[in-house]
Amino acid sequence: MKILIIDDQELVLLSLDKCLTDLGYEVKSSNNVFDAIAQYDAFSPDLVIADINMPVLADENAKDLPFTVNDTAAGLEIVKYIKNIKKHDTPVMILSGNNDEDIILKGFELGVSDYMKKPLSLGEIGARVKRLTGSNTIPQVDNSNRMIQNNCIGVVIPCYNEEERLLSEEFKKFVHSNLGYHLCFVNDGSKDNTLSVLQELSKGNEHRISVYNCEKNGGKAEAVRLGMLHLAKDNQFNYIGFLDADLSTNFEDFNDLVNTISNSKYKIVSGSRINRMGADIAKESARKIISQGINFIIRKTLGMDFKDTQCGAKIMHKEIVEKTFQKRFLTKWLFDVEIFMRMKKIYGKKEAINLICEKPLNRWVHMDGSKLSFKDSFKIIGQIGHIAVHYK
C-alpha cells in the first residue's frame, strides 16, 4: 500500500512518514502543491493525506498546470486535480488545523474521504488510514499518546552550566509526545558538561531537538536572541518562543501561552507570575519589597501596566522576532523589557498594548540557584534607568 503525504511543515511530514512506515506502508512526501502533483503522477498512491493551508511556492512548472492554485486553501487544489482532472477515485484524507466550515464543506464536495482536525494523535491517524486503505495486515504500533499539534512551534532554551537539569528525561518525553514542537537549546559558553549533555540529548532526535553553541558566555539575552533569530530562518514555525532550562514555567503552561496566541490577534503572549506574585517570598519581606519596587519602576518605564515581565516564558509571531531581535540588547537580564520598549517604538504605544498579552501562569516556582541576589536586584534598577534613557 502506497501513501503520499503533503504538508509544508517538516515536523508534520517526519512524524507521519515515521508513523506510516512503521505501520508497513510505502510512503512518499511533499511540501508544496506543484511537487505533490508530480509525485502523485509518478507514485500512483493508494491514499493521499494533505494539509489545507500551504504557501504557494513559485515553480517553473506551474505554467503547465491546467488550473490556478488558490493560495488560501492550496491543499484543495490537490483534491481538485485528483478528482476533477484525473478523474481518479483515490481516497484523500485532509489533515488540517483549518476549522473554516466553508473550507471543510468544500473539501467534501470535491470528494474528500475524511477530514481530521488538528490536534490529533498518530494512533487515530493510523486507525483511519487502515479503514481507508482496507489493509488488514498492518503491524500494531502504539502511537496513541503522540500528538500532532495545530501549529508548529520553535522554542529556544538558553543554557549556562545546566548539566544536571538537562539530564532529566522531561525534554525527551515532551518532544516524543508533542510532535509539533522543536526545542532549540542554546549553550551559552557553559564551563561544565552542558554541551556534551545537549549533544547526547539531541542524538536520534535531530529534527525535534537542535543545539546552537556559543563558545563564549554572552548572557541570557544574547543566547535567547541568537536562538530566536536562528529559528526564525525556518519557515515551518507558526510561532517562536523561549523558555528557561529549569522549567520554572513548565511545558503545560507554555502550551497555554501557545493556545492563547493561536486563538487571538496578539503578536506576543508573555507568561506572568501574577497569580504567584509574592507567594514564594512571603517570608522574605525585604526581597518582596525590592521585587515590588522593581516591578513598579518597570511599569513606569514602559508606560504600560504589565504586572510581570521577567518570568522567562514568551511566545510570539516571527514578525516580532524579525523586528525586535536584530540588534543586541543593552542588558543581560532585562531584555524582556527591551522587547516591549522596541515594540512601542515600532508600533506606537497604543498598538503595542493591543498586540501584547500578559497571561497568568497556573504554576511557577523558583528553582534552586535561579534567584537573583540582593546585589543583582540593585544592579537591575540601574539597568532599568539605562533602558529608559536609551529608548526615550
Identify which of 69, 59, 55, 50 has the alpha carbon closest to the alpha carbon of residue 7.
50
pLDDT at 380: 83
Q: Enumerate helices (H) and strands (E) in the chain, giving the number of each.
A: 15, 14
Does residue 141 sit within a domain? no
CATH number, position 232: 3.90.550.10
The H or E element spanning position 117 is strand 114-117
Highest mean pLDDT among 59-63, 138-142, 329-333: 329-333
Residue 278: pLDDT over 60: no
Tell me the angle at which helices 335-347 and 374-390 cross, rounded to the nearest 10 degrees: 20
| Predicted local distance difference test score (pLDDT) of residue 293 | 80
Identify the domain boundary among 200, 216, 247. Answer: 247
CA 141, distance to chain mean position in Å, is 27
Residue found by looking up cell 490537490 in the block:
78
Rg of the chain on CA atoms, in Å: 24
pLDDT value of residue 64: 58
pLDDT in tens, 35-56: 899 999 999 999 999 998 876 6
Mean pLDDT of 324-332: 95
* Domain co-membership, 370 together with 340: yes
How many independent structural domains does the chain possess? 3
**pLDDT at residue 277, as a whole number:** 47
Domain extent for 160: 152-247
- What residues form DSSP beta bridges with 186? 158, 212
Residue 179, pLDDT above cutoff 80: yes
Residues 17 and 104 in one domain: yes
Same domain as 14, residue 114 = yes
- 290 or 186, higher pLDDT: 186
**Residues 372 and 354 grouped into a single domain:** yes
Tens of pLDDT, residues 205-235: 999 999 999 999 999 999 999 999 999 999 9
CA–CA separation, 3 and 47 (whole Å): 5
- CATH code assigned at 80: 3.40.50.2300
In a domain, 144, yes or no: no
